[in-house]
Structure 1
Amino acid sequence: MLQEKIGGEAAVDARALVKTFGDKRAVDGVSLTVPAGSIFGLLGPNGAGKTTTLRMLLGIIDPDSGTRSLLGHTQPLDASSEVGYLPEERGLYPAMNPREAIAFMGALRGLPLAEGRRRASVLLAERGLADWEKKPIRSLSKGMAQTVQLLGTLVHKPRLIVLDEPFSGLDAINQEKLEALIRAEAADGATVIFSTHVIAHAERLCERIAIIAGGKVAFAGAVDDARDRLRPVVRLQTRAEDGAWRAALPPGARQVGREWRFELPEGGPEPLLRALIDGGAGIDTLSIERPGLHDAFVAIAGASAAAAMGEGAPE
Structure 2
Amino acid sequence: MTKSGAAYTSVRYSPPRAGDALEVRDLTRRFGERTVVDGVSFRVEPGQLTGFVGANGAGKTTTMRMIMGVLDQHGGTVLWNGQPIDSGVRSRFGYMPEERGLYPKQRIADQLGYLGQLHGMERARALAEAHRLLERFGLGERAKDRLETLSLGNQQRVQVAAALLHDPVALVLDEPFSGLDPTAVDAMVGLLREYTARGVPVLFSSHQLDLIDRLCDALVVLADGTLRLAGPVGELRGGRPEQYRLVCTGDAGWTRDQRGVHVVDLDGNTAIVQPSGPDARQRLAQEAAARGMVEFARLRPSLGDLYREAIS
TM-score, reference length from structure 2:
0.86
Q: Take 1:214 and 1:122, find their aligned partners in 2: how far apart are those partners?
A: 40
The structure-2 alpha-carbon separation of the partners of 1:159 and 1:251, relative to structure 1 and needing over 3 Å to count, comes to: closer
Q: Aligned residues, how many? A: 294
The structure-2 alpha-carbon separation of the partners of 1:140 and 1:257, relative to structure 1 and needing over 3 Å to count, comes to: farther
Q: Does 1:300 find its partner at 2:310?
A: yes
Report the alpha carbon displacement of residue 52 of structure 1 after superposing the two structures with TM: 0.7
Q: Which of the residues 277, 300, 306 maps onto 2:289?
A: 277
Report the alpha carbon displacement of residue 85 of structure 1 after superposing the two structures with TM: 0.3
Q: Take 2:78 and 2:115, find their aligned partners in 1: how far apart are those partners?
A: 25
- Kept in 1, the 8 Å contact 2:18–2:201? The answer is no
- Kept in 2, the 8 Å contact 1:183–1:205? The answer is no
**1:257-291: CA deviations, max 9, x gaps?**
5421122442354221112234xx21122222122
The structure-2 alpha-carbon separation of the partners of 1:54 and 1:236, relative to structure 1 and needing over 3 Å to count, comes to: same
Q: Give the letter aligned to residue 107 of structure 2.
A: N
Corresponding residue of 1:130: 140
- Within 5 A, what are the aligned runs for 1:211-226? 211-226=221-236
> Percent same amino acid at aligned positions?
33
**1:94-120: CA deviations, max 9, x gaps?**
222221122122122222222211221
Corresponding residue of 1:20: 30
Q: Take 1:81 and 1:149, find their aligned partners in 2: how far apart are those partners?
A: 17
Q: Take 1:263 and 1:171, find their aligned partners in 2: how far apart are those partners?
A: 38
Report the alpha carbon displacement of residue 82 of structure 1 after superposing the two structures with TM: 0.9
Higher mean displacement: 38-47 or 173-182: 173-182
Corresponding residue of 1:111: 121
Q: Take 1:267 and 1:253, find their aligned partners in 2: how far apart are those partners?
A: 18
Higher mean displacement: 152-161 or 251-260: 251-260
Corresponding residue of 2:4: none
- Kept in 2, the 8 Å contact 1:10–1:36? The answer is yes
- Within 5 A, what are the aligned runs for 1:194-213? 194-213=204-223
Report the alpha carbon displacement of residue 216 of structure 1 after superposing the two structures with TM: 0.9
**1:67-101: CA deviations, max 9, x gaps?**
22235652432213311100111232122222112
Helix, strand or coil for the counterpart of 2:310?
Answer: helix
Corresponding residue of 2:248: 238
- Kept in 2, the 8 Å contact 1:162–1:193? The answer is yes
Corresponding residue of 2:93: 83
Q: Take 1:258 and 1:28, find their aligned partners in 2: how far apart are those partners?
A: 47
Q: Which of the residues 263, 266, 279 maps onto 1:252?
A: 263
Q: Take 1:8 and 1:242, find their aligned partners in 2: how far apart are those partners?
A: 53
Report the alpha carbon displacement of residue 9 of structure 1 after superposing the two structures with TM: 6.9
Report the alpha carbon displacement of residue 43 of structure 1 after superposing the two structures with TM: 1.5
Corresponding residue of 2:272: 261
Q: Take 1:253 and 1:111, find their aligned partners in 2: how far apart are those partners?
A: 57
- Kept in 1, the 8 Å contact 2:44–2:202? The answer is no
Helix, strand or coil for the counterpart of 1:221?
Answer: strand
TM-score, reference length from structure 1:
0.85
Report the alpha carbon displacement of residue 64 of structure 1 after superposing the two structures with TM: 0.7
- Mind listing any 5+ residue stretches in structure 1 that lack a counterpart? 1-6, 303-315
- Kept in 2, the 8 Å contact 1:15–1:31? The answer is yes
Helix, strand or coil for the counterpart of 1:186?
Answer: helix
Q: Take 1:8 and 1:195, find their aligned partners in 2: how far apart are those partners?
A: 20
- Mind listing any 5+ residue stretches in structure 2 that lack a counterpart? 1-16
Q: Take 1:8 and 1:138, find their aligned partners in 2: how far apart are those partners?
A: 34
Q: Take 1:183 and 1:274, find their aligned partners in 2: how far apart are those partners?
A: 44
- Kept in 1, the 8 Å contact 2:18–2:169? The answer is no
Q: Take 2:255 and 2:19, find their aligned partners in 1: how far apart are those partners?
A: 54
- Kept in 1, the 8 Å contact 2:50–2:216? The answer is yes
Q: Take 2:171 and 2:252, find their aligned partners in 1: how far apart are those partners?
A: 57
Helix, strand or coil for the counterpart of 1:277?
Answer: helix
The structure-2 alpha-carbon separation of the partners of 1:114 and 1:251, relative to structure 1 and needing over 3 Å to count, comes to: closer
Q: Take 1:37 and 1:254, find their aligned partners in 2: how far apart are those partners?
A: 38
Corresponding residue of 2:13: none
Q: Take 2:306 and 2:138, find their aligned partners in 1: how far apart are those partners?
A: 39
- Kept in 1, the 8 Å contact 2:217–2:232? The answer is yes
Helix, strand or coil for the counterpart of 1:101?
Answer: helix
Corresponding residue of 2:75: 65
The structure-2 alpha-carbon separation of the partners of 1:177 and 1:254, relative to structure 1 and needing over 3 Å to count, comes to: same
